């Protein structure tokens, strides 16, 4: 699998290594997001031990670890049954006086087999490792377990860590960097189907979008065909109930009341399950960006924020009967028919990122503190960005269609903006239009006179904004 991006994360780890002091670094994030590959890339040019924890007995794990330590230090006289305990193992390593990287992957598996492990690691760190030259990296895919055992303020290892990295899936801009030979349309199609998970993205390198969908996702027996079920069973005790809730969300039931009606679960059950799905970064709660007290807002809605989960529930889960009979062409026809809507939704979600990228390139002399969608009962704006300190607000509309965007779209956006209650009197307003197919001549003329930015796909093509 090709290793791409993650330059900032590698630079962070290299910086910690160069400090010379002992390091305890926590790397966590969703499965398949590239945590292991990041640690391997970092450690490969340094003396290192990489140990992958498994769901086996604590005694057997320690025995396997002992074998790896013996091989690394070329010590044939380590106890064949393994070190007595983890403190003894770390005492031995520290006593060698050798500067090494020690990567312990899937640390939650180790903690699950023996709940005393976090405390044992804490003791070993305090007594032996903190004054050594070790760079200890703990990796974990179970975000909740990593928080419980390492990051939570009551966790034994809390306060010992010298650094932590939450590894997130790539955003659309980073996905585009993965495929420098593909145009924006195909990159958006890939991102809409599998999101920014590196393992999934690598399936598309050198291959056409449709071929990967048919051969890797719709084909029974392939790992991605069962991937969502596997991930949910790995993380959750009652995956069946979560399936019901995720299917409801994929059907467009975004409010808690709608999910309750669709699933038949009570409010407490739905709220609890959604909170867990949020913590796993599978779903997310969205609030209109202009809400003054978001945590108290009653306008919140829930969405599946993991694109692959959304795609899987939308096309694979609902079509299992067809796919089990290998009727892949029928499902592909359905996907192709629905892709324009899926692409339009992804483009709308990406508008804020495209705008931020233009800011980063210093092509626009504006800065905003917050951005997101806005809606009320019968109106919706794809992007609203605001800065309370400067009393400036921007409204954006994204159109993924084969028609050029004209003045009518711009005027409709301005009309909706009037309904947004935000800021002080005489707030400064800006507008942004995002279009798959470009802009009419009249709209290109309009931009010369007003505070509006025009983006063709992900490129800024026109603006006259001056500060």
**Which range of residues forms the domain containing residue 420?**
351-463
The whole-angstrom separation of Cα 282 and Cα 307 is 9
Asked whether the whole model's pTM tops 0.75, one would answer yes
Contact 222, 326 (CB under 8 A): no
Residue 1: inside a domain, yes or no? no
In terms of domains, do 159 and 134 share one? yes
CATH classification at residue 163: 3.40.50.300
pLDDT in the model for residue 146: 78
CATH classification at residue 456: 3.40.1350.10
Task: Provide the domain count of the chain.
Answer: 3
pLDDT in the model for residue 153: 73
Listing DSSP states for 384-413 in one string gives EEEETTTTEEEEEEEE-SSSPB-HHHHHHH
pLDDT in the model for residue 1: 46
In terms of domains, do 159 and 178 share one? no
Q: Which long-range contacts (CB under 8 A, 24 or more apart) does 186-193 make?
A: 188/343, 188/346, 188/347, 188/350, 189/339, 189/343, 191/307, 191/346, 191/350, 192/307, 192/311, 192/339, 192/342, 192/343, 192/345, 192/346, 193/217, 193/307, 193/308, 193/311
Residue 362: inside a domain, yes or no? yes
In terms of domains, do 367 and 316 share one? no
The whole-angstrom separation of Cα 170 and Cα 33 is 8
The whole-angstrom separation of Cα 166 and Cα 131 is 26
pLDDT in the model for residue 80: 87
Tell me which residue of 457, 237, 247 sits closest to 343, measured CA to CA.
Answer: 457
The whole-angstrom separation of Cα 172 and Cα 183 is 13
pLDDT in the model for residue 2: 55
Structure tokens belonging to residue 54: 């498994």
Residue 2: inside a domain, yes or no? no
In terms of domains, do 433 and 306 share one? no
The whole-angstrom separation of Cα 68 and Cα 78 is 11
* 291: Cα separation from own chain's centroid: 24
Structure tokens belonging to residue 335: 């996907």
Please identify, among 139, 167, 195, the residue that sits at the C-terminal boundary of a domain.
167
In terms of domains, do 355 and 222 share one? no
* 163: Cα separation from own chain's centroid: 20
Block mean pLDDT (10 aa), the chain, length 467: 76 96 93 92 96 92 95 92 93 95 94 88 94 94 76 80 92 93 97 96 95 97 95 87 94 95 95 92 94 87 96 95 97 97 96 92 83 93 95 97 97 96 92 97 93 95 76
Residue 283: inside a domain, yes or no? yes
Contact 351, 434 (CB under 8 A): yes
Please identify, among 283, 315, 344, the residue that sits at the C-terminal boundary of a domain.
344
């Amino acid at each position: 699998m090709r290793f791409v991006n993650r330059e900032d994360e590698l630079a962070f780890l290299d910086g910690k290594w160069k400090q010379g002091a002992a390091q305890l670094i926590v790397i966590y994030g969703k499965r398949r997001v590239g945590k292991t590959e990041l640690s391997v890339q970092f450690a490969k040019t340094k003396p290192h031990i990489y140990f992958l924890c498994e769901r086996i007995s604590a005694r057997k794990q320690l025995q396997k670890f002992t074998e790896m330590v013996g091989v690394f230090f070329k010590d044939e006289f380590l106890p064949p049954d393994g070190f007595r305990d983890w403190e003894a193992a770390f005492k031995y390593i520290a006593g060698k006086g050798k500067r090494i990287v020690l990567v312990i992957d899937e640390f939650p598996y180790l903690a699950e087999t023996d709940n005393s492990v976090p405390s044992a690691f804490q003791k070993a760190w305090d007594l032996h490792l903190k004054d050594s030259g070790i760079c200890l990296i703990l990796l974990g895919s179970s975000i909740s377990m990593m928080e419980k055992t390492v990051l939570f303020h009551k966790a034994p290892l809390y306060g010992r860590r010298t650094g932590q990295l939450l590894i997130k899936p790539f955003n659309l801009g980073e996905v585009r960097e993965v495929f420098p030979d593909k145009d924006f349309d195909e990159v958006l199609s890939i991102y809409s189907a599998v999101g920014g998970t590196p393992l999934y993205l690598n399936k598309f390198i050198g291959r056409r979008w449709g071929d990967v969908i048919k051969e890797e996702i719709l084909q029974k027996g392939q790992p991605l065909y069962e991937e969502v079920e596997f991930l949910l069973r790995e993380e959750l005790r009652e995956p069946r109930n979560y399936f019901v809730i995720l299917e409801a969300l994929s059907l467009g039931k975004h409010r808690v009341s709608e999910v309750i009606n669709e699933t038949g679960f009570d409010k407490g059950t739905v709220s609890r399950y959604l909170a867990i799905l949020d913590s796993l970064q599978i779903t997310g709660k969205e609030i209109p960006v202009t809400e003054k007290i978001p945590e108290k807002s009653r306008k919140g809605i829930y969405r599946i924020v993991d694109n692959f989960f959304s795609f899987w529930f939308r096309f694979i889960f609902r079509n299992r009967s067809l796919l089990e009979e290998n009727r892949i062409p029928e499902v592909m026809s359905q996907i192709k028919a629905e892709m324009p809507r899926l692409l339009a939704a992804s483009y709308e979600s990406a508008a804020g990122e495209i705008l931020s990228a233009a800011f980063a390139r210093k092509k626009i002399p504006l800065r905003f503190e917050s951005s997101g969608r806005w809606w009320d009962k019968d109106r919706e704006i794809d992007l609203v960005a605001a800065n309370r300190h400067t009393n400036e607000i921007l409204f954006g509309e994204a159109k993924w269609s084969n028609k050029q965007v004209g003045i009518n779209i711009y005027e409709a956006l301005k009309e909706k903006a009037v309904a947004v209650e935000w800021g002080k009197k005489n707030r400064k307003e800006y507008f942004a239009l995002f279009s798959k197919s470009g802009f009419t001549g009249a709209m290109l003329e309009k931009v010369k006179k007003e505070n509006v930015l025009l983006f063709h796909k992900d490129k800024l093509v026109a603006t006259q904004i001056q500060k």
